[in-house]
Amino acid sequence: MIALNGLRDGLDPESPEYGDVIKKITGYLRDSSDPEVRARAADYLGETGDAVVLDALREALNDPHETVRVATRKAIEKLKKAQRPLKDNYGTLICGRDLFRPKKIHTREGQFVVCRVCGHSKFLEDGVKEVVGIIGDAEYSWRQEDRLFISMWDEKTKNARNADIDTLWITEADDLNYGWAIDAVYQKLQNDVTRAKPISEIPVIIKGVPELSEEEIEILQNFGGIKNGI
């Protein structure tokens, strides 16, 4: 029990150990031979309000001990309470950790909203109506009112990023190999089969006059239409 009590302080979402602490507490809930410890573990998981613990709690609803089942039901109620603001703002939520959109999971205990990639609900922030992916800008991500901008290509490491973008901007940049960047970003988006929005529904806006070849334009035609913007 002492080891479990110590873990409670680690349940700080700001802490880098947060995910590990949740895993350890989940371990106690599943494997401890002491029903008191299992009940306490369920309690702590409920306190997080983070739906990432939902599966572990749902499993514990079948615990042989009544005390554990009662604690587990209470914990699930706490998760549900924490879900309310998320459901109201579903369309504008974004995970502050990895910048992905949420998904809904349907269970016998109700519907829950979690980040579609990391599975946490704790890091979901509201107010992002549009995610703009950019090829041609070095800065990784920034927010401007209800828009989130994400640089899709890192020229230094030559790596494309995946993100739940609503629009793709191609901006003017010096020393950028647009061919590589556009192809890599396209592949990256295309390979993500769980994406909510298909590529054909993501419009491309070309800002300024970046030097694009025929081949690059051809790849961009797989997106949801090319427009010139200012």
Amino acid, res. 129: K
Residue 86 in contact with Zn ion, rule: CB under 5 A: no
* Contact set for Zn ion, span 109-128 (CB under 5 A): 115, 117-118
95 makes contact with Zn ion (CB under 5 A): yes
Site for Zn ion in 8-27 (CB under 5 A): none
Residue carrying structure tokens 């890599």: 184
Stretch that binds Zn ion, among 76-84, 88-96, 103-111, 128-136 (CB under 5 A): 88-96
Whole-angstrom CA distances from 46 to 8, 57, 79, 83 are 11, 8, 6, 12
- Quote the least distance from Cβ 3 to Zn ion, whole Å: 28
Which DSSP letter does residue 88 get? H
Beta-sheet strands, E only, within 78-170: 94-95, 102-107, 110-115, 124-125, 130-135, 141-144, 147-151, 153-154, 159-160, 167-170
Total residues binding Zn ion (CB under 5 A): 6
- Answer yes or no whether residue 103 interacts with Zn ion by CB under 5 A: no
**Shortest gap between Cβ of 139 and Zn ion (angstroms)?**
21
* Cβ closest to Zn ion, residue 98 vs residue 126: 98
The single residue among 36, 98, 155, 183 that binds Zn ion, judged by CB under 5 A, is 98
97 binds Zn ion (CB under 5 A): yes
| Helix and strand counts by DSSP (H, E) for the chain | 7, 12
Closest to Zn ion by CB, 43 vs 166, is 166
Contact 165, 129 (CB under 8 A): no
Nearest distance in Å: CB 183, Zn ion: 27
Distance in angstroms (rounded) separating the CA atoms of residues 207 and 229: 5
Residues that bind Zn ion (CB under 5 A): 95, 97-98, 115, 117-118
